[in-house]
């Protein structure tokens, strides 16, 4: 009886933590589609925070999965949380990689203009 109550409370707390994580994923997707030019949807998100969250969810998922008996209260909510945070980490990586590529192209165009300007002048 106590096991079920504690497991339900634990699952409810994980779901409550996901209530805070899920809107960030939705905000990334909405800003990516129709954001202002030059605006990066993941600019204010902390890569460290989401990495630590991912590692915490993942470690408890593995722990609940590997001990006997199988703990459904630990495993399934943590799996959903792990996948959600992993999706956000992927979006952060893609957005920042895209920004780096754009920055490098701007830098190359600027250098090319300077080189061609000095040759012609």
Higher pLDDT, 116 or 119: 116
**Whole-number Å distance between alpha carbons of 18 and 100:** 30
What lies within 8 Å, CB to CB, of 99 at 6+ separation is 40
Residue pLDDT, tens place only, 45-73:
888 889 999 999 999 889 888 888 888 88
Domain boundaries, the chain: 2-24+46-96
Q: Please check whether residue 91 is in contact with residue 25, taking contact to mean a CB–CB distance below 8 angstroms.
A: yes
**What six digits make up the tokens of 12?**
């409810």
Q: Please check whether residue 42 is in contact with residue 24, taking contact to mean a CB–CB distance below 8 angstroms.
A: no
């Amino acid at each position: 009886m106590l096991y079920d109550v504690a497991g339900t409370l634990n699952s409810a707390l994980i779901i409550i933590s996901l209530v805070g994580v899920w809107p960030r994923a939705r905000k990334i997707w909405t800003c990516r589609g129709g954001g202002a030019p030059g605006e990066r949807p993941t600019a204010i998100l902390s890569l460290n925070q989401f990495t630590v969250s991912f590692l915490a969810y993942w470690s408890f998922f593995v722990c609940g999965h590997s001990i006997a008996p199988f703990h459904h209260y630990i495993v399934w909510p943590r799996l959903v949380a792990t996948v959600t945070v992993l999706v956000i980490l992927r979006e952060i990586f893609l957005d920042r990689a895209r920004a780096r590529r754009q920055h490098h192209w701007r830098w190359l165009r600027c250098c090319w203009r300077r080189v061609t300007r000095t040759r012609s002048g």
